[in-house]
Structure 1
Amino acid sequence: MLRRWPNGNMWIDTERIKTHVDVHVRLLDVPLMLIRKYEGQAKDGLLFPVPSNQKINEYLKEVATLCGIDKAVTSHMARHTFATTVTLANGVPIETVSKMLGHTNIRTTQIYARIIDQKINTDMEMLAQKLNNKMNQVGTTI
C-alpha cells in the first residue's frame, strides 16, 4: 500500500511474505516515477504488472545482456546489491537496512548484506581523519 506522510514523502507499507514482518520503505524519486508509470496496470493490489518472480528474473537477464553484464542476474542478487552497494556503501545504517529488508534479527542483515571493501575503506578513512583532527587539536605529531 502506498502512503503519503504529512511532509509529502511517499512510503510503501507491506508485509514480507517470508517472515510476516511489517515493512515500511520510503520511496525515492526513481522508484516513485516507476510506480506512477505503471499505475493501474497491476492486478490484485500490486504496484507493478509482473506475473512472477521467474518473469522478473527473465527481464533482469535481458537487461544484463543489453548492458553487457556477463553474469547471472536475479532478483535475489538485486536485493543483495540494494543492501550493500546502494544503502550500506552510501552510509545508511545497518539497522535501517535491516528494517527495510524485513529482517527480524540484525544478524541476518550482517550476513545477508556483506560489508563491501569500499565501505570499510570509507569508514577507516573517516576514522583516520577524526583521529588526525584530534591529534592536531592537542598538538601531537608522530
Structure 2
Amino acid sequence: MIHSFKVKRNETHRDYLTLQELHHLERKKFLTVRMEIIRDAFVFACYTGLAYAELVRLSEEHIHIGNDGEEWIVIDRTKTDIRCRVPLLPKAKAIIIKYKSFPESENKRRLLPIHSNQKMNEYLKELATICGINKNLSMHVARHTFATSVTLSNGVPLETVSKMLGHTSIKTTQIYARIVDSKISADMKGLAMRMGMTEIG
C-alpha cells in the first residue's frame, strides 16, 4: 500500500532587509564601480519587487506613463507570464537615470548593467560582508524586501502588493503578510517588556 504525503515547507523563513539595513546599503560608499553597480541593482529590485529574470531584460519599452501621469514599469513575468505593473518610486527612477548613458546598458539596450544571476548572487554575498549585513543576500532577498519592509510594513494593501509582484494567487503574497505580523507581534512584546507591562491574568 502506497501512502501519499505532502512535504510541508517552512514558507515563512524568508530573508529580507529591514528599512534600516536597506538605507545603510544605499548610503555605503564603495571603492569599485563593480560593487556600486551590484548595490544599485539590488536596491532597484528592493524598490520595484522585480525578480532577476525581469531585471536583466528591463528596457525602455517597459517604462510607460500611467493614467496618473507617472512612470510605471509594465513587464510580463518570465516565470508565470503574468503582467506586473509597478509605479516607479523616486529612488528606483534615480538609479535608471544614473545608468542611462552607461556603456554596458547602452550596448545591450537595457536600463541597468546586470551581470549573470550566478555572478550577481556571488557579488551580493561580498556586498553583505562589506556592509556588515549578516544575511544571505540574493536577488530573491531584494524581492522579499520590497514585499515586507517597503510595501506591506508601510500600509500598502495585500491585494496591491500581490498585483505588483505578479503573483498568481494572493495566498503567495499572504506569506509576506504573516512575516510582517510576526515582526509586529515581536516588536509589541518587546515594547510591553520595556514598559514593564505584564499579561493580565
When the two structures are superposed, what TM-score results if normalisation uses the length of structure 1?
A: 0.74
Residue of structure 2 equivalent to 1:74: 138
Structure 2 segments unaligned to the other structure (5+ residues): 1-61, 188-201
CA RMSD of aligned residues (A): 2.2
Q: Percent identity?
A: 52
What amino acid maps onto 2:65 in structure 1?
A: R
The higher-RCO structure (CA 8 Å, 6+ apart) is 2
**1:53 aligned residue:** 117
For 1:97, which of 161, 165, 176 is the aligned residue? Answer: 161
Asked whether 1:36 is paired with 2:104, we answer no
The one-letter code matched in structure 2 to 1:34 is I
Between Structure 1 and Structure 2, how many residues are aligned?
122
Query: Cα offset for 1:17?
Result: 0.2
Deviations 1:86-107 (A, max 9, x none): 1111000010110111101101
Distance 1:6 1:103 in 2: 23
Indicate the SS of the match to 2:64. Answer: strand
* Equivalent residue number for residue 138 of structure 1: none
> 2:77 — aligned with what?
16
Deviation sequence 1:55-75 (CA, Å, 0-9, x none): 222332232112111221111
The CA distance in 2 between the partners of 1:111 and 1:72, in whole Å, is: 19
The 1:108/1:45 distance shift into structure 2, 3 A limit, reads: farther
Note closer, same or farther for the CA distance 1:40–1:2 as it changes in structure 2 (3 Å cut). farther
- For 2:179, what is the secondary structure of its paired residue? coil
Structure 1: state its 5+ residue gaps: 123-142
Q: Aligned equivalents of 2:94 and 2:114: distance in 1?
A: 17
**Are 1:2 and 2:66 counterparts?**
no
The change in CA–CA distance for 1:49 and 1:104 in structure 2 (over 3 A counts) is: same
**1:6 CA displacement:** 5.4
